[in-house]
């Protein structure tokens, strides 16, 4: 492992929200968890521990509170035989090669040290360590991981590209393409486009692509959710520009709300149950009627850990998409994992089905 993360201060590593944000930034850059260490800011061993990490890792990311930043900077300056200088009203080591928004990057010999100063009331500072290889991320819809690998590997080899293929869910995969020393990403991407013209998109996530494409076409979307409890709309509203697309969402968790708010028939619930294609079809019709949106998503299932039956075990989920032209598609999927896993996978399957059902809108 050539990279590591050092968290200095127990108030940081015990804050789940901050740690989740830091790990998300870290994984976005390095694509994997690094060796992670924790240290008390008042420990007398801190300078020696830092010295050991600097000598061991090619890339070291240090996270501490803003109030501790001057002390850590002074230690780093001493360890790297540097001096502190005033840059943008902040004392930083003179060997800093880049600094931005409470984050600075220090080059020492052949290694990079990135210092992040955290304020709990502000956004997590960016990690500034440069990537060694040119890379990009794209996604494929309606194809499994094995088939994608069989089709893409020969092309990738031709252009000296390495691939990391990871399924979001079945039928929706994320691919990271990394150029080797003499790799040609642009040519590889053109070849991939020609092979998967109606299946490939470059956005970082399916919901990002959905929001972007619908916004460009001035189309709107609504959702009717049961087992996901609002997760579909939550994942959509995390994307900038969602307000131009998502009109609203109804979390119809109980059968009574399904009936009163969405117009699901009593006979439907009695004869087929809330977890059924018939119920999801009527949820789609109801949310389209209420919201007047162009497109709709609906989902109902058994997230567990209890509530399953022989015919509908835990993980049974019905997902559906529809358009205001009367078209609709409903699928049954059987998902594995914890309650949270099933909810997350259900939401992703909703996005997968929307992309797959209306390729002319999204590709």
Cβ contact 349:319 at 8 Å: yes
Tens digits of residue pLDDT in 17-53: 899 899 888 988 887 778 899 999 999 999 999 999 9
Cβ contact 295:248 at 8 Å: no
Contacts of 212 (CB under 8 A, 6+ apart): 203, 241
**Residue that is written with structure tokens 């069989």 in the block:** 150
Please name the residue ranges forming H helices in 57-184.
69-79, 145-158
**Residue that is written with structure tokens 């058994």 in the block:** 302
Tens digits of residue pLDDT in 242-276: 999 999 999 999 999 999 999 999 999 999 999 99
Sheet holding 221-225, edge to edge: 246-251, 221-225, 295-301, 316-323, 328-334
Alpha-carbon gap, residue 11 to 119, rounded angstroms = 11
Query: Poorest-confidence range of 90-94, 155-159, 210-214?
Result: 90-94
**Token digits of residue 93:** 């080591």
**Residue that is written with structure tokens 């189309």 in the block:** 219
Cβ contact 111:121 at 8 Å: no
This prediction's pTM: 0.75
**Token digits of residue 79:** 């360890």
Tens digits of residue pLDDT in 302-339: 999 999 999 999 999 999 999 999 999 999 999 999 99
Alpha-carbon gap, residue 185 to 204, rounded angstroms = 17
Alpha-carbon gap, residue 65 to 337, rounded angstroms = 36
Tens digits of residue pLDDT in 268-281: 999 999 999 999 99
Q: Which of 143, 136, 147 is nearest to 352 (CA)?
A: 143
Q: How confident is the model at residue 182 (pLDDT cuts 50, 70, 90)?
A: confident
> Mind giving me the DSSP string for 227-258?
TTTTHHHHHHHTSTTGGGTEEEEEE--SHHHH
Average pLDDT (341-359) is 98
Has residue 158 got a pLDDT over 80?
Answer: yes
Domains defined for the chain, CATH in brackets:
3-118 (3.40.980.10), 135-201 (3.30.70.600), 206-362 (3.90.950.20)
> Mind giving me the DSSP string for 107-141?
EETTEEEEEEEE-TTSPPPPP-PPPSS-EEEEEEE
The residues facing 222 across adjacent strands are 248, 296
Phi/psi of residue 112, each to 5°? Answer: -115, 135
Alpha-carbon gap, residue 300 to 277, rounded angstroms = 9
Please name the residue ranges forming H helices in the chain.
10-13, 16-30, 46-56, 69-79, 145-158, 185-195, 206-216, 231-237, 255-262, 266-271, 277-291, 339-357, 359-362
């Amino acid at each position: 492992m050539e990279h590591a993360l050092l968290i200095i201060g127990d108030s940081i590593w015990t804050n789940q929200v901050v740690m989740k944000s830091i790990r998300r930034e870290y994984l976005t850059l390095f694509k994997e968890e690094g060796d992670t260490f924790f240290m008390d800011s008042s420990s007398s061993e801190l300078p020696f521990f830092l010295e050991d990490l600097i000598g061991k890792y090619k890339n070291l990311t240090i996270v501490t509170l803003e109030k501790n930043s001057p002390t850590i900077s002074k230690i780093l300056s001493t360890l790297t035989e540097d001096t502190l200088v005033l840059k943008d009203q902040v004392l930083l080591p003179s060997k800093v090669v880049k600094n931005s928004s409470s984050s600075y990057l220090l080059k020492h010999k052949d290694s990079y040290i990135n210092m992040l100063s955290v304020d709990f009331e502000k956004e997590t500072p960016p990690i500034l360590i440069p990537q060694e290889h040119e890379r990009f991320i794209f996604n494929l819809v309606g194809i499994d991981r094995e088939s994608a690998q069989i089709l893409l590997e020969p092309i990738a080899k031709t252009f000296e590209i390495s691939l990391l293929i990871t399924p979001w869910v079945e039928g929706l995969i994320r691919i990271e393409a990394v150029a080797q020393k003499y790799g040609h990403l642009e040519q590889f991407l053109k070849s991939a486009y020609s092979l998967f013209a109606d299946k490939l998109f470059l956005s970082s996530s399916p919901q990002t692509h959905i929001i972007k494409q619908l916004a460009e076409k001035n189309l709107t979307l609504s959702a009717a959710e049961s087992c996901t409890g609002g997760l579909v709309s939550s994942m959509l509203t995390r994307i900038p520009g969602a307000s131009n697309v998502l009109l609203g969402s109804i979390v119809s968790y109980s059968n009574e709300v399904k009936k009163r708010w969405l117009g699901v028939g009593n006979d439907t619930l009695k004869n087929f149950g809330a977890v059924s294609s018939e119920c999801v079809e009527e949820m789609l019709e109801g949310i389209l009627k209420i919201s007047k949106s162009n497109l709709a998503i609906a989902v109902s299932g058994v997230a567990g850990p209890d509530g399953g039956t022989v015919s509908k075990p835990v993980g049974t989920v019905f997902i559906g998409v529809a358009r205001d032209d009367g078209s609709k598609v409903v699928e049954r999927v059987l998902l594995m994992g914890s309650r949270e896993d099933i909810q997350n996978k259900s939401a992703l399957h909703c996005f997968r089905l929307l992309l797959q059902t209306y390729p002319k809108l999204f590709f």
